[in-house]
Each structure stands twice: as C-alpha cells, then as structure tokens.
C-alpha cells in the first residue's frame, strides 16, 4: 500500500520549530520583531555586565535602510518596474480613492484633537509628517547595532551561543534575565527569514589580548551555526564586551513608542546602567537620540551562587555556577540526571551536596525547629539517606537503598522512592540569598529620575516560595509626576525586565485593578496619577509563553505577595496623603482667617466706638472675658487703634496655626524619628513643670524626673 503523504513521519529541528512559530517567542510582525530584537540584546548585555559586577553601558543604534541599500548589501540589482499592476503596492483607482478618504478622515481627527488640546500648527504638521512617514515606512529594513561592556563570549563558543537554538549559559537554578537560550537566535532566524543577511559579532572577554570577529547565520533545518567568516583581532586597548550588528525587516514608526517606553522602564529598574539609544532615519529630521543616564553606582547584590558537584555537563556552555535544586522542586528526570553526573560516591553526600537545604546536620536543625511535628522530627533525626532506609518498612524491598549506595547505581525504582520521599518530607524553604532584587533604593531612585512624582513609597516583601523556588516581590507606588496619565499606570517587571505586552492577564495588573481597594488608602484610582511598579525576582518565574510577556495569575503565593507589597506601599502613602491633606486644610483655614482680618477689625472698631455708651453694650460686656474686655476698653480709650487691632488679630491667627499643628502632631503620636532625648536642668531649686511644655516649634514631654 502506498503511504499517504500526510502519514509520513517528519521531524523538526528546534530552530525550524521556532521559525515556524515565531509568535510564541515575541517575533510577530516586523515592528514587534524589531522591538523584541532590541529587548533581547539589551537584556543579554545587562546580564553580561552584571555577571562581572561591571556598571552596564549599553549602546543601541537603529539605522533605517532603504530598499536600494538593502539590495546593494545583498548583491541584488535594482530593477525598474515595467508593469506596475504586477506589484503588491499597486493601487487601482478605487483602492487609491478609499485610502485617500481614510487618510483625510484621520487628518480631520488629528486636527480636531489638536484644536481641543490647543496644539500649535507646528505640532500638527509634525503629526501629519508622522502619518506620511508611517505609510512610507511600512516595510523597511533596519540595521540594529548593539554594544555592551560585559563579560563577552569565548571565541570557540560564539557560533553555538548565537547560532544554535536552545543553547546558552543561563540554564539551571539562577536568577538571570535570559532563561531559554533562544532570544539572540530568534533575531538571527528573523534576519535570515526577512533579509537573508548574516550577523556580525565582535567580542572579547576581560583580560583577553584578542577580540573575536564572526560573520555567521543559522542553518534553520539543522539548527547549527553557519560561519561565513571568523578572525582574531588585536585588543591592545583591553576592551571587553560584545558588539552585534543584525539587519532585519522592521517597522520603527509603529513600534517607536514601545521601544522608548521599554528603555524608560529598564532605566527605572536599572538606574545604575547607562543607555544610549539612537535612531538614524534616512531623512535626518526624523532621527532621534536619547540618553538614559546612570544615577547611581550602587548595583544590587549579585545572586549568591554555589558550585554544585554535578553542575558541569550536560550543558557544555554552562559556567558551572548555579543555585542547588530545592528538594521539593525536583522531578524524576532531574534526580536521574543529577545521580548520573554527580562525583559523589554515597547517597548521603549526594543528597547533602547536590540539593539545597539538606545539610549533614539537617536532623539537628529540624528538631530545633518549633514547627516540626514529632513524626517529622523523628524521621529527620537521622540523615535523609538514613530516613530513606527508616521509612523502608513502607517501601517494597527492591525500592530500598542503603546510605552508602553509589548514586550512579540507583535503579529506576529506587529513584522513584527517593523522589516520593523528597516530596513528602518537610525542608527549610530556600533562603533567597541567591536572588538579586533591584532593592528599594534603586527602585525609588529610578522612579524619581524618570517620573519625578510628588510622592513615592516602596516596599520589599519577604522571601516566598513557589514549587521549591524562592521569589521576592518588590513594589513602589508613586503619585503625580511628569508624563503620567490620570488613573493606574501599571509597570511590571520580572527578574528586572520590563513587561510591556499582554498585561491584562498578568498577576500584577489583575491584582492592582481587582484586588486593591485604593479608596481605602485615600487614592482615587481614576483621577489621581498613580504609578504602580511591581517587580518579581525568582529562579523560576511562571511565565506564560516563551515570549516572557506576562506572569501567570494562578500561583496563589505570588498573588498574595504582590497584593501585600502593593498594600504596604499604600499604607505608607495614606499617612503621607493624610498629612498633606491636613496641612492643606490648615493652610486654607489660615488663609481665610487672614483674609477677613481687616474687615473684622474695621467692623469691630466702628461698632465699639458707636456703642460705647449704650445699655446693650454694658450688659453684653459682663459676659465678655477679661482679654476681650481689655481690647474693648483700649478701643474706647483710644489706646487701641485699628492697625493695632489688625496686628493683634494676625498674631492670634498665627498662634492658632501653631497650636493646631502641635495638637495634630500630638494626636498622630510622636514618631521615633521626631523624638529626642534631652536632660533639662532647673534654674533654681523651686520649679514646677507640667507633664508637657509647649513652645513655638515643639512640645517637650516629661518622661521622668531625675
């Protein structure tokens, strides 16, 4: 029987798979491809610089390339069109009419908008030009040039690092921006698919006497690098880092706003980095240059890594530094892989050296732990390997193992028994020392530098755990500032990467919109300009999709941590907002009182002089207090003039203002920061102080008498 064509078994290389399904890696259309290429290169550069504790310096230049230039680069001759109708961009009269009508409508809309906002004619002209450029730009090629000052790449590894899909140095339990070993390769795949041009790379590691130069592309069917040219260049000036140049089909005009927003947000979360960005248009007038300047030299603590015994093979390119796996996060395959590659010869050392939170004295620590149940404590009184044996009564004979068993000799059934036990026992949670959050200082600084808000509050949550992976949530809430719209402006970060797409399903967006009662904190979520910044760092971020665009909303621990972090910031802000409101009210009250002083003084003065002898005045006078009586007498005798009365009233308002401020401060309670210990010596032996002494600038409250 002849086999049907569709029955034929076929295989795909990983490169082929991702070339066919570019969207899942964030390479949807030319504009998005340009954006994602920039993003992947920037994140690689930041990882590379931070891995050697170098303050990052990132330079990106996007150069617009015309069809003629592109053809010249590819060695394709330009041709004149003989029959226009054969071309895609040919427009029949009807289509042209429709397009022109649509454009006219759009212009009308822009004009109306401009009139409403009171834009100048120049601004409107700019918008018109933008519209024209957008149309002309629809399918242009862009050259992306990128440079960093990171650790660079070893000469022999460059082809694999950039030309083989799913290869990289960031696999394992590590907090890095990169994870999949895919990003840079997708840029290569897209350049190959859209322009057919190879990429050029220059790189040098710190202290290297030479720089490596490669011109290469990626063989998509075979998933292997295809090196066109390679050479070693002189590096006498000691440069280190990476330089990449890739030519892809892009659409700058449509993604310009996204690229700039991405750079602004990465500058917020990375204020210790310097970013230089330039777009060079064919028409110089449309070019832009932006610098996001470094504002601090304080970098977050790098993640603490440890060398696991088994962490060498199979990833040939791996640096060998990673966090050990937490026992509750392991699966059967992982145990098998670790057992096969560990140099440990006994089960006891295998467990204590290859896994996090299993030390040789684990039993003792667990017994000391108040939360440990008696049963767990008993099991953990021995080493874990011994526990495997201890629980052997429940394990069938062929699944039991001796603590001295070599891990390499473990049978599949023994591995199953070990896996089950590791998931049943209770271990300390990972301590998060291997995580590197941005830090409240950096987050606040980044926000202040980019948004200049009126007030900002930050909070870093405690270390949480999800599937054996530690995570930390940091949040900042700002109110007011420049270039910020009224309402909630949500900024999401994961492992210090800004997330700009698919926000609707993200845990951060959903929490901010649905799970926070903003009015409770005196924040109006529709009219106040609120910036919500939440950053999650972890060795495993539950992303949905390889594009790493949004974090799943179904992990309860993360959901709760995000909510708590936002609420903590809101509590801080509520205090500030309440104080601000009270101060505003007080200012208003003082303003009102002061405003009416001249009128009150004039009225009082006239009234008193007119009625100084009347009977009514005499009866009322009895009820007045002494102070008022003194003023009235002064007015009557002519000692108190109208200007004196005005001055006295002003003095009185000032005094009320100070008294009320003190009263408010006392009601709020004196904060620790405002307290100052002081020892007052009496001037004489006879003294009597009340519990509190008030003065113009503060209150002295007596705690004890010496």
Ligand X SMILES: Nc1ncnc2c1ncn2[C@@H]1O[C@H](COP(=O)(O)OP(=O)(O)OP(=O)(O)O)[C@@H](O)[C@H]1O
Three-state SS letters, 290-339: EEECCCCCCCCCCCCCECCCCCCCCCCCCCCCEECECHHHCCHHHHHHHH
Of the candidate residues 161, 322, 347, 472, the single one contacting ligand X (CB under 6 A): 161
- Compute the least distance from the CB of residue 457 to ligand X, in Å: 32
- Nearest-approach distance from CB 247 to ligand X, in angstroms: 18
Nearest distance, CB of residue 197 and ligand X, angstroms = 19
547 binds ligand X (CB under 6 A): no
CB of 185 vs ligand X, minimal distance in Å: 5
Is 240 near ligand X (CB under 6 A)? no
Task: Say if residues 401 and 418 touch (Cβ distance below 8 Å).
Answer: yes
Kind plus residue range of the DSSP H or E element containing 455: strand 455-460
Q: Which is nearer to ligand X, 52 or 661 (CB)?
A: 52
CB of 178 to ligand X, least distance (A): 2
| Cα–Cα distance measured from residue 431 to residue 324, given in angstroms and rounded to the nearest whole number | 12
Q: Decide whether 24 or 340 has the Cβ nearer to ligand X.
A: 24
Q: By the 8 A CB rule, do 248 and 33 touch?
A: yes
At 83 the three-state DSSP class reads coil
* C-alpha to C-alpha distance for 537 and 458, rounded to whole angstroms: 16
**CB-wise, 319 or 448, nearer to ligand X?**
319
Choose which of 15, 31, 40, 387 interacts with ligand X (CB under 6 A).
40
Q: How far is C-alpha 452 from the geometric centre of its chain's CA atoms?
A: 17
Nearer to ligand X, 176 or 348 (CB): 176
Q: Which listed residue (33, 34, 35, 44) binds ligand X by CB under 6 A?
A: 44
225: contact with ligand X by CB under 6 A: no
User: Smallest Cα–Cα separation from 577: which of 659, 454, 670, 486?
Assistant: 454
Q: Based on CB atoms, which residue is closest to ligand X, 178 or 403?
A: 178
> Residue 182, interface with ligand X (CB under 6 A)?
yes
Return the residue of 152, 271, 300, 407 that touches ligand X, per CB under 6 A.
152
Q: Hey, which residues does 467 pair with through a beta bridge?
A: none
Q: Which of 163, 172, 178, 547 touches ligand X by CB under 6 A? A: 178
Q: What is the DSSP-derived secondary structure letter of residue 551? A: B
Nearer to ligand X, 43 or 64 (CB): 43
Which residues contact residue 684 at a Cβ distance below 8 angstroms, ignoring those fewer than 6 apart? none
If one counts every other C-beta atom within 10 angstroms of the C-beta of residue 690, the result is 8
Residue with Cβ nearer ligand X (178 or 461): 178
Instruction: Give least dist CB 299 to ligand X, A.
Output: 17
CA separation, residue 20 to residues 28, 37, 168 (Å): 11, 17, 21
Give the CA distances from residue 350 to residues 345, 347, 353, 399, 529, in Å, rounded to whole numbers and listed in that order. Answer: 7, 5, 5, 18, 55
Q: Which of 662, 665, 706 is nearest to 687 (CA)?
A: 706
Residue 316: CB minimum distance to ligand X, A: 12
Q: Indicate the residue among 153 and 472 with the shorter CB distance to ligand X.
A: 153
Closest approach, Cβ 77 to ligand X, in A, equals 35
48 belongs to the binding site for ligand X (CB under 6 A): yes
Q: With binding defined as CB under 6 A, does residue 248 bind ligand X?
A: no
Q: Which residues contact 323 (CB under 8 A, 6 or more apart)?
A: 172, 173, 174, 303, 304, 305, 306, 356, 430, 434, 539
Measure Cα distances from 423 to 169, 172, 344, 356, 426 in Å: 29, 20, 22, 14, 8
CB of 557 to ligand X, least distance (A): 23
**Stretch 183-212 residues interacting with ligand X (CB under 6 A):** 183-185
Question: Which of 15, 65, 153, 499 contacts ligand X by CB under 6 A?
Answer: 153
- Residue 531 touching ligand X (CB under 6 A): no
Find out whether 16 and 223 touch, Cβ atoms under 8 Å.
Answer: yes
| Binding test (CB under 6 A) with ligand X, winner from 140, 179, 459, 492 | 179
Least separation in angstroms between residue 46's CB and ligand X is: 9
Run of H or E residues at 487: strand 487-494
**Which among 545, 445, 543 is positioned nearest to 493, based on CA atoms?**
543
Q: Which residues contact 231 (CB under 8 A, 6 or more apart)?
A: 212, 213
* 148, 217, 354, 450: which one binds ligand X (CB under 6 A): 148
# residues near ligand X by CB under 6 A: 22
Dihedral through CA 17, CA 20, CA 23, CA 28, nearest 10? 150
Regarding 461 and contact with ligand X (CB under 6 A), the answer is: no
Question: In the complex, what is the shortest distance from the CB of residue 42 to ligand X, in angstroms, rounded to a whole number?
Answer: 9
Closest to ligand X by CB, 456 or 536? 536
Among 33, 38, 58, 242, binds ligand X (CB under 6 A): 242
Shortest approach of ligand X to residue 303 CB, angstroms?
Answer: 15
Which is closer to ligand X, CB of 459 or CB of 496? 496
Judged by CB, which is closer to ligand X: 244, or 445? 244
Instruction: Give the integer Cα–Cα distance in Å for 179 and 496.
Output: 13
Binding status of residue 168 toward ligand X by CB under 6 A = yes
How many Å separate Cα 675 from the centre of its chain? 36
Looking at 181, 446, 464, 498, which residue binds ligand X (CB under 6 A)?
181
Minimal CB distance residue for ligand X:
178
Cβ burial of 314 (10 Å; 0-12, 13-18, 19+) is exposed
- Residue among 26, 30, 31, 45 that touches ligand X (CB under 6 A): 45
Give the span between the Cα atoms of 25 and 244, in whole angstroms. 20
User: Which one of 71, 91, 130, 180 is in contact with ligand X (CB under 6 A)?
Assistant: 180
Of 181 and 531, CB closest to ligand X: 181
Site for ligand X in 427-456 (CB under 6 A): none
Residues engaged in binding ligand X (CB under 6 A): 40, 44-45, 48, 148, 150-153, 161, 168-170, 178-185, 242
């Amino acid at each position: 029987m002849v086999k049907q064509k569709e029955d034929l078994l076929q295989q795909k290389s990983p490169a082929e798979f991702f070339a066919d399904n570019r969207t899942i890696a964030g390479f949807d259309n030319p504009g998005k491809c340009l954006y994602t290429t920039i993003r992947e290169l920037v994140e690689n550069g930041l990882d590379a610089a931070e891995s050697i504790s170098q303050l990052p310096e990132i330079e990106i230049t996007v150069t617009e390339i015309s069809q003629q230039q592109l053809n010249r680069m590819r060695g394709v001759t330009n041709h004149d069109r003989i029959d226009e109708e054969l071309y895609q961009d040919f427009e029949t009269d009807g289509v042209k009419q429709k397009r022109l009508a649509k454009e006219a409508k759009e212009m009308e809309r822009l004009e109306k908008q401009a009139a409403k906002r009171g834009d100048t004619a120049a601004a409107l002209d700019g918008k018109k030009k933008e519209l024209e450029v957008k149309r002309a730009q629809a399918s242009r090629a862009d050259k992306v040039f990128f440079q960093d000052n990171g650790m660079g790449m070893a000469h022999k590894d460059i082809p694999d690092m950039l030309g083989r899909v799913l290869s990289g140095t960031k696999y394992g339990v590590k907090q890095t921006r990169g994870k999949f070993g895919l990003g840079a390769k997708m840029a290569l795949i897209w350049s190959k698919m859209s322009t057919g041009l190879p990429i050029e790379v220059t790189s040098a590691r710190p202290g290297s006497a030479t720089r490596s130069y490669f011109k290469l592309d990626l063989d998509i069917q075979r998933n292997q690098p295809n090196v066109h040219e390679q050479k070693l260049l002189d590096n006498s000036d000691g440069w280190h880092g990476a330089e990449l140049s890739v030519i892809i089909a892009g659409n700058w005009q449509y993604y310009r706003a996204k690229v700039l927003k991405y750079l602004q947000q990465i500058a917020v979360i990375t204020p210790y980095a310097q970013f230089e960005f330039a777009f060079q248009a064919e028409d110089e007038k449309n070019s832009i240059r932006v610098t996001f300047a470094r504002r601090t030299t304080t970098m977050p603590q790098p993640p603490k890594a440890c060398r696991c015994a088994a962490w060498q093979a199979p990833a040939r390119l791996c640096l060998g530094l990673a966090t050990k796996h937490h026992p509750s996060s392991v699966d059967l395959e992982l145990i098998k892989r670790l057992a096969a590659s560990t140099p440990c010869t006994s089960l006891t050392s295998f467990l204590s050296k290859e896994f996090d939170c299993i030390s040789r004295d684990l039993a003792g620590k667990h017994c000391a732990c108040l939360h440990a149940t008696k049963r767990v404590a008993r099991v953990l009184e021995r080493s874990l390997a011994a526990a495997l044996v201890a629980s052997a009564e429940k394990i069938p004979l062929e699944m039991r193992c001796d603590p001295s068993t070599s891990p390499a000799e473990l049978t599949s059934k023994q591995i199953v028994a070990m896996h089950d036990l590791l998931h049943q026992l209770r271990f300390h949670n990972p301590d998060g020392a291997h995580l590197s959050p941005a830090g409240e200082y950096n987050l606040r600084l980044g926000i202040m530098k980019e948004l200049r808000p009126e007030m900002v509050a930050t909070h870093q949550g405690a270390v949480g755990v999800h599937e054996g992976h530690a995570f930390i949530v940091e949040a900042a809430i700002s109110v007011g500032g420049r270039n910020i719209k009224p309402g909630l402006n949500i900024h999401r970060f994961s492992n210090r990467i800004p997330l700009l797409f698919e926000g609707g399903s993200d845990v951060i967006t959903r929490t901010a919109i649905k799970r926070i009662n903003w009015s409770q904190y005196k924040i109006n979520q529709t009219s106040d300009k609120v910036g919500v910044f939440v950053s999650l760092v972890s060795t495993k971020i539950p992303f949905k999709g390889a594009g790493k665009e949004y974090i799943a909303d179904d992990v309860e621990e993360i959901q709760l941590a995000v909510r708590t972090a936002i609420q903590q910031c809101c509590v801080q802000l509520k205090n500030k907002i309440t104080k601000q409101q009270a101060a505003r009210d007080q200012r208003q009250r003082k303003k009102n009182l002061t405003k009416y002083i001249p009128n009150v003084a004039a009225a009082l003065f006239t009234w008193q002089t007119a009625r100084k002898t009347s009977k009514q005045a005499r009866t009322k006078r009895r009820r007045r207090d002494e102070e008022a009586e003194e003023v009235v007498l002064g007015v009557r005798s002519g000692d108190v003039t109208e200007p004196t009365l005005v001055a006295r009233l002003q003095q009185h308002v000032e005094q009320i203002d100070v008294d009320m401020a003190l009263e408010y401060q006392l009601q709020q309670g004196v904060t620790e920061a405002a307290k100052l210990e002081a020892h007052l010596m009496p001037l004489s032996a006879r003294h009597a102080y009340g519990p509190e002494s008030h003065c113009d600038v503060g209150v002295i409250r007596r705690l004890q008498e010496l």
